[in-house]
Amino acid sequence: MKILLINNDGAGFANYVEVADNTTVSELFNERVGSGKEHNYLIRVNRLPSAADQQLCEGDRISITPIKIEGAA
């Protein structure tokens, strides 16, 4: 299925990506950003905060935004 992924980490980008059916927010995060850092990001699906086990649907809009910018005090 096709979703819109907005990654606000670093320079940031928005792009349509293909993911498998029944992919969860956590699986997408681990694939695109990496594991072990979830607590440092605000992850929203269709502009609403999401749970890690939320399944994605065709056409969803997912944004991944760091809570703290690296190097900031």
pLDDT digits (tens, 9 = 90+) for 44-56: 999 999 999 999 9
Tell me the whole-structure pTM to 2 decimals: 0.83
What whole-number distance in Å separates Cα of residue 37 and Cα of residue 57? Answer: 24
Overall average pLDDT of the 11-39 stretch: 87
Q: What is the pLDDT of residue 73?
A: 58
Q: Answer whether residue 11 shows pLDDT above 80.
A: no
What whole-number distance in Å separates Cα of residue 25 and Cα of residue 11? Answer: 22
